Structure formats: C-alpha cells, structure tokens
C-alpha cells in the first residue's frame, strides 16, 4: 500500500510493539517461576502455565502455592513486620519512593509483560496501567512520610493477605501493596492464576529497591492458594474479585478478628440525558465498556439513554463500533485486545448466546484466527429484569434500555444489587450534580468515565463490597487505633427475689416507627435489679418485630436528606430533654446496675449527644487534588439503615454512643437494647417522643441478643450491623452478613471503655458513613 492510498483510505497501519526484551527477561529468569518469600525466590515448580491469551502460547510455568508455602510467607511477613513498623514513616517513604523510581525505569518492560500476560492493548498498559501503578507508590510514599504526624493515634494492623484479580494485575498490586507498606504493615500477595508475570518483575524491583526481606512476599497459585491465604495467620484480608468469592471470604473470616475489605463486581449504569454532548458521550462509552475488553469491575456495561435521543445515540454508537479494531494487543493501533483466557471467553459467549431478549448488534469486525477474542457487542431494548441487565458479563458486551425522566433514570440505575460506579452525561451541571448523589454507587463520573487516581477513594456499596482504596479514606483499611483492648466480661441477668413494686402492669413495649408497640410474640421477661427487686418487664422481640422496625426505618429515608444543621438541632434537643430528666434516669441506672454511677452515666450521655450534635454539620468531605482539569469530590454519605446491638454495660451511654453518631450522619437505626438492663432504653424512647425525632429514625427492640443477632445480620434491607454486645455473636453476625455483603463492626469479645475517648470520635463517624467520589471535569 502506498502513502497516497493510506491518506485516501485513512486505514490504520500496523504499529507493533517489540516484545523481545520481555521475552528475553522471561527466558533468562524462568521459564518457570517460584514464589518470592523472605526476599528470595524459592525453587519453582511447573504447576500451571501462564499463557499469552492473544496466541495461546505458553509464556512461563508458575508454581501453585501450597498451604505450607503460604504459611512460610506469612511467617516471613510476621518476623519482618515489627521492625518495618518501627523503622518510621521516613524510612518507609524512601523505600516506596525507590520502588516508584525503579518502576519508572522499567515501565516499558512492565507494560509489555502486562499485555503479553493479560491480553489488553499495549496502549492501555503503557499509558494507563503502569503510570497509575507508579503514581500509587509515589503518592503513598507521601502518606508514609506523614503518618507519624497526621495519624499519631493509628498503628499498623500487622500482616496483610492480599488477593488480586487478572484484569489489572500490576495496578491492583500497587493499590494493595502501597498503602499497606506506607502504614507499616507487611504483605503476602497472591496474584491471579492467569496473570502472575508482572508480579514476578515487581519482586525483582523490590530487591533492587532495598525492600527488607519479608516485607513483601508474593505467592502464586489458584483459588486453593487464595483460600489458604484467607485461612492463614494474617491480620487482614484485602480482596478484589467476584462477588461470589467475596461472599465466601466474608464467611471464612467471620469471627476470626481479621480486618476485611472487599472490592467486588459491578453492573454500572452509564446515563445519557438528552442535553448531553452526544459525540463525547459515545466516545466516553467506548472507554467505559470496551476498555480492557470490558473486563473491568466498574465498566459502564448498562447504558441508560434518554428516550428523545435514543435512536440518534444508538446510530452514532453503532457507527463508532464499526470502526473499532480487534487484534494483536501489541499493535498500538488496536482498540480491543484478547480476552484473558478461553474459560472467560466461553463464559461471555454462553451468556450472550443464551439471551433471547432485545436486539443484538455486532459489527462486521475481523477477529484473529487464533487466540481468545470477542467482538464488541451492543444489546438494546432490554427490560431491567432481563438477566443481562442484572448479571455482570465481564466482557465487551453493552446492554441498554431507555428512560423518560430523571427520576426514572435514577430508579433504573439503582435497580441492581451492585453499587460500584456510575457515569452521568449532561451539559446541565445542575442536573448532573442532582443525579450523582442519588445513585447507589461508590464512585460517580460526570461527563467522563474510568477516571482513577491514588488520591481519590475507590470502592463500592451493596454487593460491590465495602472499604475504599486510595486517598486518606483508603488508609483506614490498613490501620487500627493505638489501644490495647481487654477481654469483655459478660454481665449476667440478675435473678429476682421479690414481687412487683405495684399492682400495675409495667411491661415496657418496643419502640417502632415512633410508637410504642406490643411484641408480636406477646412474650416478656421480668427485669430485676442487683438487689433482687422487680423493676418491671421488658418485651421479647422476634423477627417479625425486626421486620416492622426495618420497614419503619426505610419509611424514614427522608432523614438522610435533611441538613446537618437540622440533625444537630434535634440531637441538642434530645440532650436537653434527657438533662431535664437526669435524676430519674440516674436512679433507674442505679437500680438496674446496683451502683451509684448513674449520675455519671447520664452526664456522659448528655455530653455525647452534644459531641455528635457538634459533628452533625462538620464531618464534611474533601476536594481531592487529582492530576486533571477538574475536581474529585469525596462526599461522606450515610450508609442507610444500621442495626445496632448495644453494649450490655453502660446501658444508656452505650446506646447513645451508637445511636448519636449514626443519626447525626443521616442514618436510621434499629437498636437491640442492653440485654440485662433493657429498661434504660425503654425509658429513653420517652425522651425521643418529646424531641422531634421523626418516626422511624430510631427504633428500639428488647430481647436476647443471641436470638436477634442472626436475623439482624441477614436482613437484606439492613445496610450495616454494629455489635458491642456482651454475647458471643461476632462470628454469627459476620457469617450472616455475607448474604448481601453488608458492612459489619463487631467487638470480637473485646471491651470498650464507653466513658473514655474510645467511646466516641471519628472512628464512629467513619463507621456511620461511606465515601462517594464524584469526578467533575471542567473546561471546554
């Protein structure tokens, strides 16, 4: 073809990237790779192959980690951790900086190796994955430097087990390792079975950067190796992968005391309004769904188009699809590379072939004769209940439907069990910023897609997981308070000796939807003081009472939309009314607990209400310093409905220490009151009745925590569970919470001093909120 013909046809020419250096690296150091444990490569075994998905050819052999090898890596990390933590923030910053510099030096090797191993286009590896991975190490070197001064009350968790997927092997490695090391932890990382080779290059970089032996350990293997790491003696598991595996990990770690963060699947909406720049929205959609062949957890795989422009938009989109090029990932002019493995290709093909709804369009695009390739696909005219509108395909397949109004767009967008990301396209900034907070997603892009940075938190809600990676909020997952907890001493219910104090029935009812309610089962139990006197009866709630309380809490969803100022005023009002009845509550607490500290507890409760009234309009978000012309807004949003099992000790203060931060941040709560001292809570709802608390914002149940806990934890309409109960229920809660992967905060049998600073503060505010990052580019 002549130059003239090229200019006339405007066809792309081939622009191959040389793979010789990467293949030489593999040949010189392989072709079989072992684990990296204690700063050394261990003898390898050719247990399974790492193949080039574009050709099917074997690149290298990889060792499958055994439980014994995982344990050896964890032991090496355990030995190295104390010294690494004590080395100080500056020493850790220097090491992270050295890693970043060496990654820059080896950027082309890393990019080519990533493309060979994963199948993504070299342009994406070279221009996105590798630079962003380097950025994470640079950015977290800064966090390490600042930890001693900015996080003086925080300590590292210890040894972190980290399991990453195959779609972004190097980038996910950086997301996990950089913050863990910055905060003084050591790590054992397991790459995905399909894509271990950039981790092997990284292990060599670690040696060159002077990473102390045992600080970073890499164990290769499949799901069985990952399961061994989850079961090992680590202090935290950080997992990125499928929702199904995340659910198994939640159950496996239940009751172990291991910290857990999960970044899981998604079915992210891509919403286009009729005033959007259609050409820009189409181009953005190419990046949203066909970037990395659609093998992206936050891919904009659900297109929602405003009905007036739907046909125009679809026509432009099909025309753009016709120009997409599928082929050799090492060709710089290729748009879509290879699917990571024939198994994944088969999954995508089966899901599309099994769909009988809507209209499917695939351009007449030539696919390579060998390798795992799939054409870009568009399926229009689907209903929101159709399987492909609900299930994650994890491939280059876009599904679509239309909407008529902004309210319908939000309803359709949120009609999924996932909640990872969303994109909103509109030239009306008022509309865009009105829609963004309404979307159930951890990250929202306005007139953009797939924007990421180390300074901005990334993570999901609902069944897309919990926890954030990146930014200050991401560091929370790798630190813990500098405290030495003590074992919790259970409090037994007091036995009675005497009869009723008067002839009237003093059975305290439940408090549901702003009203006193009789228990569904009709049962109650006597409540005795320490001296054996009968103080009253408390109702025994069952799962139907819980159902009613959760329904009342959901009916009060308007509370989440109120201003912080309004919530502050109501909290002050609660404190004022409690103060007016301080003597009464003090006497009740003394009678219940058999002491003389009731006055102290009431005064502490009033002060705690004031504390969270003060925080209600001051716990604000941040504007992230992302490297773009625009802003990334980190907004603290309420979680929704929180189920709380209150402490047995300090029955009034413990209850208020949970309810106050929760409602201050806009949540609604369902409380299980102190089991041995429930009457403190039933007295308190009389204060709520006179304090302008809207019906359903606070609901109070009484009864046995052991009976209530599993129902609270597995209720699909409860968004988080906090338990500071004296009962041994932490494992039960974490196991049952796996159903909808709700957030949990449990005490694992450890005591908390509710009268000290441990009983209040930002730890509670963080637990009561989730960060939504809204990216807003600006300029023409």
Active site residues: 263, 297
Tell me 765's DSSP state: H
Q: 94, 88, 179, 93: which is closest to 133 by C-alpha? A: 179
Cβ contact 163:229 at 8 Å: yes
Cβ contact 329:54 at 8 Å: yes
Cβ contact 265:258 at 8 Å: no
Distance CA(297)–CA(194), nearest Å, equals 17
Phi, psi of 217 (to 5 degrees): -130, 135
423-462: buried (b, 16+ CB within 10 Å) or exposed (e) per residue?
A: bbbbeeeebbbebbebbbbbbbbbbbbbbbbbbbbbbbbb
Cβ contact 477:236 at 8 Å: yes
Residue 601, CA distances (Å) to 437, 590, 753 in order: 38, 10, 12
Cβ contact 530:593 at 8 Å: yes
Q: Which residues contact 542 (CB under 8 A, 6 or more apart)?
A: 519, 520, 521, 703, 707
Q: Which residues contact 578 (CB under 8 A, 6 or more apart)?
A: 585, 602, 605, 606, 609, 684, 687
Quickly list DSSP for 441-482: -SEEEES------TTS-B--SGGGEE--BSHHHHHGGGEEES
Distance CA(226)–CA(232), nearest Å, equals 10
Distance CA(293)–CA(767), nearest Å, equals 36
Which stretches does DSSP call E strand in 523-663?
524-528, 534-539, 622-624, 630-638, 641-645
Cross-strand pairs, 237: 161, 260
């Amino acid at each position: 073809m002549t130059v003239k013909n090229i200019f006339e046809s405007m066809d792309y020419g081939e622009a191959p990237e040389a793979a010789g250096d990467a293949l030489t690296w593999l040949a010189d150091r392989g072709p079989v790779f072992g684990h990296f444990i204690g700063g050394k490569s261990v003898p390898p075994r050719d247990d399974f192959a790492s193949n080039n998905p574009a050709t099917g050819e074997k690149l290298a052999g990889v060792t499958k980690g055994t439980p014994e090898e995982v344990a050896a890596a964890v032991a090496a990390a355990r030995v190295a951790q104390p010294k690494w933590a004590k080395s100080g923030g500056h020493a850790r910053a220097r090491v992270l900086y050295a890693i970043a510099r060496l990654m820059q030096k080896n950027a082309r090797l890393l990019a080519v190796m990533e493309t060979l191993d994963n199948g993504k286009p070299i342009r994406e590896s070279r221009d996105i994955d590798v630079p962003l991975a380097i950025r994470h190490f640079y950015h977290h070197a800064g966090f390490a430097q600042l930890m001693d001064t900015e996080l003086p009350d925080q300590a590292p968790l210890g040894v972190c087990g980290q399991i990453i997927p195959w779609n972004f092997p190097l980038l996910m490695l950086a997301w996990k390792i950089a913050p863990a090391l910055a905060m003084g932890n050591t790590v054992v990382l397991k790459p995905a079975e399909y894509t271990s080779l950039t981790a092997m290059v990284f292990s060599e970089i670690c040696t060159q950067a002077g990473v102390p032996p045992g600080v970073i350990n890499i164990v290769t293997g499949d799901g069985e190796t990952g399961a061994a790491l989850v079961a090992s003696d680590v202090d935290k598991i950080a997992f990125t992968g499928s929702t199904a595996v995340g659910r198994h990990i939640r159950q496996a770690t239940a009751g172990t005391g291991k910290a857990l963060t999960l970044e899981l699947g998604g079915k992210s909406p891509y919403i286009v309004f009729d005033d959007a720049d259609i050409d820009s929205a189409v181009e953005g959609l190419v990046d949203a769904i066909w970037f990395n062949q659609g093998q992206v957890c936050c891919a904009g795989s659900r297109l929602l188009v405003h009905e007036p422009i739907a046909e125009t938009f679809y026509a432009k989109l099909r025309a753009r699809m016709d120009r997409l090029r599928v082929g050799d990932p090492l060709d710089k002019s290729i748009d879509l590379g290879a699917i990571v493995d024939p198994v994944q290709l088969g999954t995508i093909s089966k899901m599309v072939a099994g769909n009988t709804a809507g209209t499917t369009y695939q351009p007449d695009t030539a696919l390579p004769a060998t390798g795992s390739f799939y054409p870009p696909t568009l399926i229009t005219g689907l209903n929101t209940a159709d399987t492909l509108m609900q299930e994650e395909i994890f491939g280059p397949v876009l599904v679509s439907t239309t909407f008529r109004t902004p309210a319908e767009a939000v309803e359709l967008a949120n009609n999924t069990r996932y909640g990872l990301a969303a994109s909103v396209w509109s030239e009306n900034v008022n509309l865009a910023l009105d829609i963004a907070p309404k979307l159930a997603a951890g990250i929202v892009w306005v007139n953009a897609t797939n924007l990421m940075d180390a300074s901005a938190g990334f993570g999901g809600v609902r069944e897309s997981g919990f926890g954030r990676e990146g930014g200050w909020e991401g560091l929370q997952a790798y630190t813990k308070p500098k405290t030495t907890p003590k074992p919790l001493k259970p409090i037994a219910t007091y036995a009675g000796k005497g009869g009723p104090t008067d002839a009237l029935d003093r059975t305290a009812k439940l408090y549901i939807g702003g009203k006193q309610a009789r228990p569904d089962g009709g049962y109650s139990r006597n409540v005795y003081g320490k001296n054996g006197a009968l103080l009253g009866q408390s109702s025994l709630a069952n799962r139907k009472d819980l159902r009613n309380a959760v329904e009342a809490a959901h009916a009060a969803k308007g509370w989440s939309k109120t201003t912080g100022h309004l919530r502050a005023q109501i909290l002050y009002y609660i404190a004022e009314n409690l103060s007016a009845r301080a003597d009464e509550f003090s006497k009740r607490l003394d009678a219940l607990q058999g002491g003389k500290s009731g006055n102290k507890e009431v005064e502490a409760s009033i002060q705690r209400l004031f504390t969270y009234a003060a925080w209600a309009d001051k716990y604000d978000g941040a504007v992230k310093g992302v490297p773009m012309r625009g802003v990334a807004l980190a907004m603290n949003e309420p979680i929704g409905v929180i189920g709380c099992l209150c402490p047995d000790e300090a029955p009034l203060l413990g209850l208020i220490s949970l309810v106050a931060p929760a409602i201050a941040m806009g949540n609604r709560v369902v409380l299980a009151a102190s089991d041995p001292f429930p009457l403190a809570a039933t007295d308190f709802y009389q204060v709520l009745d006179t304090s302008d608390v809207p019906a359903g914002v606070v609901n109070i149940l009484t009864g046995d925590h052991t009976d209530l806990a599993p129902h609270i934890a597995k209720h699909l309409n409860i968004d988080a569970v906090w338990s500071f109960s004296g009962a041994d229920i932490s494992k039960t809660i974490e196991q049952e919470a796996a159903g909808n992967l709700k957030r949990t905060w449990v005490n694992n049998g450890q005591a908390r001093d509710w009268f000290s600073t441990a009983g209040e503060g930002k730890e509670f505010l963080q637990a009561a909120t989730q960060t939504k990052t809204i990216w807003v580019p600006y300029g023409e």
